[in-house]
């Protein structure tokens, strides 16, 4: 297979390093650099260096290199699979540039904070379901930062969970979970349910199977393939964590662990979790109502159907516990949003608090605290506190 990595910050380098260590040389990995300058820096270094607990490990395999806006032929070749580790605010424009190289047999892995990027890609770029690439959505909890270009410090070991977006053509990637020929406790997600070489449509799903297999080989990153519904729950939960910690740390200019020593921050935490849980509850009710109405239109008697309960992990109390757990686990970390604010860059706030705010409007739930944090972070981009007055 030929795998591209777009976004060579800390997480992109972490993933590229680990994949190069475990994939055979016959599997090509191309790094897409922002500019010739970045490519030349890499060529001078010769590898991606991973630092963990003070031990330095340079990548041992070879990479190919592309420059994002290069007119060279290799930068116009079709893309089989691309892992996108760019920050959310840069992803849409970047994928738009690569879109001519991405076809219905390609696979895109979205690995970033926030939600709504996938939906926006469908709305703005991949509108036609028949020509749309496969998508894998991934959620990362590893802590990492760049000590210098292409030198990534793996500061906190976490995990990467991913799920495959359901197929627009109706192929069932998770059928192994319902296989009646297997004992329930033995049922698993299976690569063979994506495709096998003897399938007539194998070329259509070849890159998706190979990408999934490659991700699963990265055991040092604790990668797991989850049912898509479970992944969505985990991503919603993580979104609330980021909607509290990221804006507050960027506004207060502090590390994650400094926030909740003070009662005002705890009040903000409680308000955001209450609002987010109310939004998720309204969304869940709306989805269930739509599902029941569809069944009724099919003349199905819905009176005896058991309606799913609202997931406990999305309740206010559970969300608060998770935010506090992550803040303690990452207490020495400087959030990515604070780093962006310090560098005068735009942040991911649109895809974090902004996503919750917009979802709240769709389901009729007000989100004053979530919206205020979004506005303050956006204002801070234009009015940093360190200006002399």
Question: So what's the pLDDT on residue 71?
Answer: 61
Question: So what's the pLDDT on residue 304?
Answer: 84
3-class SS at 66? strand
**Candidates 1.10.1040.10, 3.40.1190.10, 3.30.420.310, 3.40.710.10; CATH matching 231-382:** 1.10.1040.10
Domain with CATH 3.40.50.720 in the chain: 2-226
Tell me the β-bridge partners of 148: 151
The stretches in the chain having pLDDT less than 70 are: 70-75, 384-389
Question: So what's the pLDDT on residue 39?
Answer: 94
End-to-end alpha-carbon separation of the chain, Å? Answer: 57
Number of residues assigned to the chain: 389
Question: So what's the pLDDT on residue 155?
Answer: 84
CB-facing half-sphere around the CA of 25: CA atoms within 13 A = 3
Q: What does pTM read for this prediction?
A: 0.91
Question: So what's the pLDDT on residue 72?
Answer: 63
**Which architecture does CATH list for 2-226?**
3-Layer(aba) Sandwich (3.40)
Task: Please tell me the distance from the alpha carbon of residue 47 to that of residue 42, in angstroms, as a whole number.
Answer: 7
Task: Please tell me the distance from the alpha carbon of residue 93 to that of residue 109, in angstroms, as a whole number.
Answer: 16
Domain with CATH 1.10.1040.10 in the chain: 231-382
């Amino acid at each position: 297979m030929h795998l591209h990595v777009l976004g060579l910050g800390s997480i992109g380098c972490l993933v590229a390093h680990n994949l190069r260590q475990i994939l055979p040389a016959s599997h090509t990995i191309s790094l897409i650099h922002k500019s010739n300058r970045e490519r030349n820096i890499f060529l001078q270094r010769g590898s991606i260096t991973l630092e963990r607990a003070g031990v330095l490990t340079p990548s041992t395999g070879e990479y190919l290199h592309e420059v994002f806006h290069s007119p060279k032929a290799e930068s116009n070749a079709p893309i089989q699979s691309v892992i996108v580790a760019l920050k959310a605010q840069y992803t849409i424009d970047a994928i738009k540039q690569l879109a001519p190289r991405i076809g219905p047999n390609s696979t895109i892995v979205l690995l970033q904070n926030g939600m709504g990027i996938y939906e926006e890609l469908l709305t703005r770029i991949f509108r036609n379901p028949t020509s749309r690439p496969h998508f894998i959505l991934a959620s990362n909890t590893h802590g990492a930062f760049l000590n210098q270009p292409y030198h990534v410090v793996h500061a906190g070991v976490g995990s990467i969970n991913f799920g495959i977006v359901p197929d627009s053509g109706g192929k069932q990637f998770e059928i192994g979970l319902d296989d009646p020929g297997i004992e329930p406790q033995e049922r698993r997600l299976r690569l063979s349910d994506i495709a096998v070489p003897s399938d007539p449509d194998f070329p259509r799903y070849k890159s998706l199977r190979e990408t999934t297999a490659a991700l699963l080989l990265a055991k040092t990153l604790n990668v797991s393939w989850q049912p898509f519904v479970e992944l969505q729950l985990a991503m919603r939960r993580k979104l609330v964590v980021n909607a509290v910690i990221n804006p507050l740390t960027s506004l207060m200019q502090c590390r994650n662990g400094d926030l909740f020593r003070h009662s005002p921050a705890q009040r903000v935490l409680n308000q955001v979790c209450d609002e987010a849980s109310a939004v998720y509850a309204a969304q869940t009710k709306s989805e269930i109502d739509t599902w029941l109405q569809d069944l009724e239109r099919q003349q199905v008697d819905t009176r005896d159907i058991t309606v799913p309960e609202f997931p406990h992990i999305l309740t206010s109390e559970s969300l608060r516990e998770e935010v506090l757990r992550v803040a303690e686990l990452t207490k020495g970390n400087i959030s990515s949003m604070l780093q962006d604010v310090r560098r005068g860059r735009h942040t991911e706030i649109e895809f974090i608090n902004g996503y919750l705010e917009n979802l709240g409007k769709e389901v009729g739930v007000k989100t004053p605290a979530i919206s205020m944090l979004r506005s303050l972070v956006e204002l801070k981009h234009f009015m940093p506190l360190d200006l002399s007055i």
